[in-house]
Amino acid sequence: MRRASAARVQFGDPPVTSQALPVLVIVAPGQGSQTPGMLEPWLELPHFGDRLDWLSTVSGVDLRTHGTTSDADTIRDTAVAQPLIVGTGLVSLLELFPHPSDAFRVIAAGAGHSVGEITYAAAAGVLTAEQAMVFVRERGRAMADAAAAAEPTGMAAVLGGDRDAVLASIAKHGLTAANDNGAGQIVAAGTLAQLDAFQADPPEKAKIRPLQVAGAFHTHHMQPAVALLAKHAKAMSTHDPRIGLVSNKDGQLVSAAHEVLSRLVTQVSGPVRWDLCMQTFGDIGATGILEIPPAGTLTGLIKRALPDVETFALKSPDDLDAARAFVAKHGEKNLLNTQPDWRLVTSPAKGTIHIGEGLDEGVLLEPQTIVAAVVSLSDEQPVIAEHGGAVIEWLVADGDPVSPGQPLLRLHPIAEGYGQ
């Protein structure tokens, strides 16, 4: 990593931000959001079927049939459900934003839950739609194979109870907290024997609901799938996100394409921290959060975690006009996207910020410069300016407490001539 250059540039007035600005966030749901017949009304729209059929051809999965006539058991199959969810999200996004540039201009940030992270990575421009469909096809097959090859495994939702007590009980029974969804909902995963013992000895004041899934997703039981996806990832070309991408791993805003792809690979055997994603939505000042199809699940979680943020679940074509109005309300005049003259460096973790010396306004930074460290009780994480640039302003002071994904530093990406 590099240290900051001593060169400086002169700045005019930096962009002004305000908490009153509208901030639009888009979220993409994960497995379990699919329902029988969910694509029937969408297929009545012009071009929707053509686009869906193309993604079917790319993925080798008949999305039209599975989205209309296949029954619940068929679309519960991991190898079917995952491409169906991603394909549905990508094609419905084109109904909301016919031109990607429209989305890039108004969306501040977003995330996908589990497999929905692939949908959002494509929406953010990291992957093409075709890459997303091939990747999710391989992901679904690999996870199904991993589940079939191992000792029988499963998952169970834990509703309510004291959070610390729930996590302690999950660990006591040898299980993994595979999804931390916030709002009093944690999903435990492991072998069926472990889950049976857990259900017989539940945490106080908590309810346990077994989930109809094929295996213990987002745990070490999925490690064989990680190896396969890592092999495929080596051959994939990617682009840095055009809009903010909040990672399932830790709620961090990830700005480098290689890091996004790496996280998509390892995510299948690692916990989904949706609670931290929602925390980051709050940290960036989200005023409106729109869930794309198959919508509904994430909206419910967000309403409980962020009650002051307006939400919208795009469930059917009948909702499109209202969804467009929602986008106009929360995306219009959003300086996070309409100002191309700067980029944000965000916090990689929760802790206390310690800013490097000499990083004042105008200092030029080379790519991969370490500009600060976030220190917690357990470790220290470097803060890296992935692409370099010139320092416009620090958004925090040395010694401030910071959260994952919190904006720390504003940089001008092209220093030459700035402010002249």
Phi, psi dihedrals of residue 262, rounded to the nearest 5°? -60, -40
Given a contact cutoff of 8 angstroms between Cβ atoms, the answer to whether 26 and 120 are in contact is yes
Query: Which tokens in the block code for residue 123?
Result: 């929406």
CA-to-CA distance for 87 and 62, rounded, in angstroms?
11
Residues in the chain: 420
Token duo for residue 223: 């490690």
Measure the CA–CA gap between 380 and 385, rounded to whole angstroms.
Answer: 16
Q: Which of 214, 212, 256 is nearest to 238 (CA)?
A: 256
Token pair for residue 378? 């357990």
Q: At what angle do helices 223-233 and 129-149 cross, to 10 degrees?
A: 150
Report which DSSP code applies to 317: G
CA gap 125, 104 in Å, rounded? 9
* Catalytic site residue from 218, 221, 330, 412: 218
Give the C-alpha separation, 187 to 179, whole Å.
Answer: 5
CB half-sphere exposure, 406, CA atoms < 13 A: 18
* Cis preceding linkage at 210, omega within 30: no
Active site residue 218: yes
Instruction: Say which of 92, 114, 255, 403 is annotated catalytic.
Output: 114
Tokens standing for 277? Answer: 């994603």
Residue 362 has which token pair? 């105008």
Active site residues: 114, 218
